[in-house]
Amino acid sequence: MLESCRSEASLLAAYASCGAGRSSGRNGRAAPVVSPLTLTLLANTKRGTPARTVWVNFHKSVGITLGALILFRLYWRITHRPPPLPESMPRWERIAARANHGLLYACMVGLPMAGYIASNFSKFGIKYFNAIELKPWGVDDRRVYELFNGTHKVLAMVFVALIVLHVAAALKHVAIDRDGILRRMWFGGRTAA
């Protein structure tokens, strides 16, 4: 489909038609994860083509935007304590849940930061939503670029693994334990201890 696209507008329409940009109801919480992953997959068009440039810049733009939103989320999380984990949960599960959340936040901050820094150590920089050119503030240094781009890629893989673990744990609490722990995630609901 991407090879048949001839303009930025048709590429963006193709993105919208695949549903990656849509979010509704409870599934809207997945949009910050699904959108960059979809864009990464779509960015695998032939190098050096206008289509790839559009998708790569769109990926960078979404990453910058989500990075800023994540900083607000992190501030909110620091200033608003979550409900305590129930004492009925085994100690190892409480430790694992806290570790997973901490690592998720580390990835949510580190992933866009590493990508942004990598982009600034390449000659291309960023064209924010293909409209506003953000010139690179770093020098065109392939070694620095590769370090931060590699970090960005590793964090993306770790992030996906942590999300899978998080979802698997949530499903365990719903399907096996049936302990109401999932209600705790929705708007600060309390669980039965």
pTM of the predicted model as reported, rounded to 2 decimal places? 0.72
For the chain, the three-class secondary structure string (H helix, E strand, C coil) is CHHHCCCHHHHHHHHHHCCCCCCCHHHHHHHHHHHHHHHHHHCCCCCCCHHHHHHHHHHHHHHHHHHHHHHHHHHHHHHCCCCCCCCCCCHHHHHHHHHHHHHHHHHHHHHHHHHHHHHHCCCCCEEECCCEEECCCCCCCHHHHHHHHHHHHHHHHHHHHHHHHHHHHHHHHHHHHCCCHHHHHCCCCCCCC
pLDDT tens across 93-116, in order?
Answer: 999 999 999 999 999 999 999 999
Q: Are 55 and 129 in contact (CB under 8 A)?
A: no
Residue ranges in the chain modelled with pLDDT below 50: 1-31, 34, 191-193
- pLDDT, residue 23, reads 37
Q: How far apart are CA 42 and CA 54, in angstroms?
A: 10
Q: Are 102 and 109 in contact (CB under 8 A)?
A: no
Domain ranges of the chain: 2-185
Read off the tokens for 122: 């390449």
- pLDDT, residue 30, reads 47
Nearest alpha carbon to residue 86 among 165, 185, 180? 180
